[in-house]
Amino acid sequence: MANKEDKVDAKQFLAMLLQYSRDEHFNHINFSVRLNRNPAYTRQVLNVNLKRVSKKYGNDERVYTSMTAEVGSQILSLLNQLKEEMYGSGADKIIWQTALLNRTDQEFGYRQIRERDQYNNLEFELLL
pLDDT tens for 53-93 read 999 999 999 999 999 888 999 999 999 999 999 999 999 99
| CATH number assigned to the domain with residue range 4-127, chosen from the 4 options 3.30.450.90, 3.30.1600.10, 3.10.20.440, 3.40.50.300 | 3.30.450.90
- DSSP-derived secondary structure for 47-97: EEEEEE--TTT--EEEEEEEEETTTTHHHHHHHHHHHHHHHHHT-SSEEEE
| pLDDT score for 3 | 54
- In the predicted model, what is the mean pLDDT of residues 27-51? 86
| pLDDT score for 70 | 87
Alpha carbon separation from 53 to 43, 79, 94, 101, 123 (Å, rounded): 32, 23, 21, 23, 19
**In the predicted model, is pLDDT for residue 6 greater than 80?**
no
**In the predicted model, is pLDDT for residue 1 greater than 50?**
no
| pLDDT score for 5 | 55
- In the predicted model, what is the mean pLDDT of residues 6-22? 92
